[in-house]
Amino acid sequence: MNKESVIKIDVTLDEQKVPTGIYWNATDSTAEERQAAKSMMLSFWDGADKAALRIDLWTQEMMVDEMADFYYQTLMGMADSFQRSTGQTELVHDMKHFAKEFFQKFQESQRKANV
């Protein structure tokens, strides 16, 4: 028998429908209470249309440096997932190299902006 797990995401919006809060919980989580997040990325693969369906949301409290770190960590996590699912070590290396370059360029641009 298959087990079912439920992941619930709640998003609060302001009058302009801009997210003011993102909260999630999962039936298999060790956390008792719902968890707050400043940003989220959710992707689904539609096999019939061969297309990625995405939801990307962030709250007004998400700072630019946090967004860059979030993207860096997401890209690194995507590379790890790609490694586990395909075994394409060389491509994973390229993905991680890009993620590191991306983050370094962001940090350099921040330093220049703060001079």
pLDDT at residue 32 in the model: 85
pLDDT at residue 82 in the model: 98
Residue 115 has pLDDT above 90, yes or no: no
Strands (E) across the chain are located at 7-13, 19-26, 35-37, 39-46, 51-58
Among 52, 20, 54, which residue's Cα sits nearest to residue 10?
20
Going by their DSSP bridges, the two strands 35-37 and 39-46 should be labelled as: unpaired
Mean per-residue pLDDT for 4-16? Answer: 96
Tens of pLDDT, residues 51-68: 999 999 999 999 999 999
With pLDDT > 90 as the criterion, what percentage of the chain qualifies? 92
Among 75, 96, 97, 79, which residue's Cα sits nearest to residue 87?
79
Mean per-residue pLDDT for 18-42? Answer: 94
Per-residue pLDDT band for 31 (boundaries 50, 70, 90) equals confident
pLDDT at residue 83 in the model: 98
